[in-house]
Homo-oligomer: A and B are copies of this chain.
Amino acid sequence: MPTISREVHLVNRPQGTPTPQDFTIVENELPDPGPGEVLVRNIAMSVDPYMRGRMNDVESYSPPWQLNQVMEGSVVGEVVASGTAQVPVGTLVSHQQSWREFALLPERQARRIEPLGHGLPLSVYLGALGGPGLTAWVGLLEVAKFQPGETVFVSGAAGAVGSLVGQFAQLKGAGRVIGSAGSADKVTWLTEIGFDAAFNYHDGPVSEQLPKAAPDGIDVYFDNVGGEHLEASLTALNPFGRVALCGGISTYNFTEPAPGPNNLGQAIGKQLTLQGFIVSSYGHLWKQMIPEVRGWLESGEVQARETVVEGLDQATGALLGLFSGANTGKMVVRLAPDPE
């Protein structure tokens, strides 16, 4: 019996800031799963800043979304019909066919997940136990080579990745953790989850606020933002400091190249390292990250806060909201309730 599934299509490649008119919702009819296939009811889907790049017709580390086709991304769901005994109905899975209510996919593209208990929703697999969690882990520990006692600054600190970076750093013995965010409420929340200092970048230049928050300088800068945050950090970094270049959300909607930091020469005198990374190159670290972070989540030592919007109709708005700071913690689109 065919299943009706609504799905979101990209209908226009935005120049600059995307608008709702760049997307549309289409109804699709999915057949029953064939041999080796599963039909998944999607429960919660992820929207992430990197998706802005997938709207452009440029080959990058993630392939561009195709025009007038359903978009893709991380999602968790439950198998509701199965063409394989390996993955029976009721199995919980994560996979990449999001932006739709139901997904029909080969069994090998579905990764089995377990309920988390401790009141943690399945959507945690999209955040602290998903790509954002591994991104924070890799950037802090592998790329920036954080050492106990060091001072860490993270921009976009109230976001999915940034809020984990700061918490992971504290749990790994940071001397001081500083975050920047875009509202007073976010700044308050950062201090509640263990940041030693936080500031609202709307309150004044980062180049003035950061040195006050970090009077002895910083050793690691985890960059989610680029622009003036990166420039101010280069000045604040101590000798042999490291920058994990993770993202540049301040520039994603630019239509012209923006000038880079005017003080990159400081990288020579202070012997700094700036290293860009893509989390998919570090898949071998899942098995290191998952047990430790899961333990922290279960004990309550890590807060995996979410901003949840309901229903596929809100998904586009949730994605665009990332660029205006609508989220605190992980932005999640809920498509169906978690199973009992």
Q: Which of B262, B272, B276 contacts A259 (CB 8 A)?
A: B262
Q: How many copies does the complex hold?
A: 2
Q: Is residue A189 within 8 Å, beta carbon to beta carbon, of the partner chain?
A: no
Q: Check if A247 sits within 8 Å of B261, measured CB to CB.
A: no
**How many residues from A make CB contacts under 8 Å with B?**
34
- Residues of B within 8 Å of A53, CB to CB, are 269
- Shortest distance between the CB of A159 and any CB in chain B (Å): 16
- Residues of B within 8 Å of A264, CB to CB, are 226, 230, 245, 260-261
Q: Check if B271 sits within 8 Å of A273, measured CB to CB.
A: no
- Shortest distance between the CB of A13 and any CB in chain B (Å): 18
Q: Check if A262 sits within 8 Å of B260, measured CB to CB.
A: yes
Q: Which of B231, B248, B265, B271 contacts A248 (CB 8 A)?
A: B265
Contact with B along A255-275 (1 / 0, CB 8 A): 001111111111111111111
- Residues of B within 8 Å of A277, CB to CB, are 268, 271
Q: Check if A267 sits within 8 Å of B262, measured CB to CB.
A: no
Contact with B along A214-237 (1 / 0, CB 8 A): 000000000000100011000000
Q: Check if B273 sits within 8 Å of A275, measured CB to CB.
A: yes
Contacts A260-B259, A260-B261, A265-B251 given; indicate if A275 touches B272 (C-beta within 8 A).
yes
Q: Check if B281 sits within 8 Å of A268, measured CB to CB.
A: no
Q: Check if B273 sits within 8 Å of A278, measured CB to CB.
A: no
- Shortest distance between the CB of A72 and any CB in chain B (Å): 18
Q: Complex Cα distance A231/B269, Å?
A: 20
Contacts A265-B226, A268-B245, A271-B281 given; indicate if A259 touches B257 (C-beta within 8 A).
no
- Residues of B within 8 Å of A272, CB to CB, are 275-276
Contacts A268-B276, A271-B277 given; indicate if A258 touches B248 (C-beta within 8 A).
no
Q: Complex Cα distance A231/B264, Å?
A: 12
- Residues of B within 8 Å of A61, CB to CB, are 269
Q: Is residue A154 within 8 Å, beta carbon to beta carbon, of the partner chain?
A: no
Q: Is residue A60 within 8 Å, beta carbon to beta carbon, of the partner chain?
A: yes
- Residues of B within 8 Å of A263, CB to CB, are 257, 260
- Residues of B within 8 Å of A231, CB to CB, are 260
